[in-house]
Amino acid sequence: MYLLPRLLDQGKQHVLVNRVIEKIVDPNAPIDVDQLLIVTFTNASAAEMKARIGKAIEQALLVDESSAHLKRQIALLNYASISTLHSFCLDVIKKYYYLADIDPEFRLIEPIESAMVRDEVMDKLLEEHYGNAENTAFFELVDTFSGDRSDDDIGRVVGELYDFSRAHPEPEAWLDSIVTNYDVAEITDVASLPFYAIIEKQLVMTLRQAEHFLKHAIFFMW
């Protein structure tokens, strides 16, 4: 499988296309282009890569016009797996939906629909917790993250945490693990806390910026 970076300069694209062509025309073990899986991060990159490979195959045909293998690659290019990872996975699911017990008429949710469903779930979740007067931890969370007139910030924070967790191989396990960062005993040295260094760095930057502005203010006063 070839995994192509999101931002790929022309030189690297040229190298990758050459690697694909080398595998196709390998004199000892030539392969068909539809046997390769080339994954990009965007649909635009996938389309460009497919076009470049097609052009390279045509150029190879100019050198060996009688090659039936190369001529076949032109036709097979339309079936080659050159796409984003999401598109590839979608194709696999559509092809083998019966093995995953999925409705063959399924479709991908649109971003607007996804946002609406997410907001609806968040509203129901907050409503459920508001209804539990004994949930003191939740109300402490509300006091910490909500404003005087709205609790929208709570939904935003939870949403950002959820999105960040999706980048981990095991999101639920990662979420469980970070809870221990806040399980602090009264005698714990503050400097030993995992988030201390981050806060210290931010404070130092803020103080240096304030010092810079103060020096400028004093300079202009004189």
What is the 3-class SS of the chain, one letter each residue? CEECCCCCCHHHHHHHHHHHHHHHCCCCCCCCHHHCEEEECCHHHHHHHHHHHHHHHHHHHHHCCCCHHHHHHHHHHHHCEEEEHHHHHHHHHHHCCCCCCCCCCCCCCCHHHHHHHHHHHHHHHHHHHHCCCCCHHHHHHHHHHCCCCCCHHHHHHHHHHHHHHCCCCCHHHHHHHHHHHHCCCCCCCHHHCCCHHHHHHHHHHHHHHHHHHHHHHHHHHC
The overall pTM is greater than 0.85:
no
Residue 121 has pLDDT above 90, yes or no: yes
At 85 the pLDDT is 86
Mean pLDDT for the stretch of residues 101-116: 88
At 208 the pLDDT is 94
- Compare 77 and 183 and report the one with higher pLDDT: 77
Q: For residue 115, what are its two tokens?
A: 């946002």
The chain-wide mean pLDDT, for the chain, equals 86
Burial environment of residue 149 by CB neighbours within 10 A (0 to 12, 13 to 18, 19 or more) = exposed
At 205 the pLDDT is 94
Residue 161 has pLDDT above 50, yes or no: yes
At 8 the pLDDT is 55
Residue 32 has pLDDT above 90, yes or no: yes
Mean pLDDT for the stretch of residues 133-140: 90
**11 band by pLDDT with thresholds 50, 70 and 90:** low
Q: For residue 61, what are its two tokens?
A: 């045909």
- C-alpha separations of 51 from 56, 74, 77 in Å: 9, 11, 9
At 6 the pLDDT is 46
Phi-psi label, residue 47: left if phi above 0, alpha if psi -120 to 50, beta otherwise: alpha
User: Please, what is the Cα angle at 219 between 218 and 221, to 5 degrees?
Assistant: 65
Residue 183 has pLDDT above 50, yes or no: yes
Residue 184 has pLDDT above 80, yes or no: no
**222 band by pLDDT with thresholds 50, 70 and 90:** low
End-to-end CA distance of the chain: 66
At 10 the pLDDT is 63
Least confident of 9-13, 91-95, 163-167: 9-13
Q: pLDDT of 40-55, one tens digit each?
A: 888 888 898 899 999 9
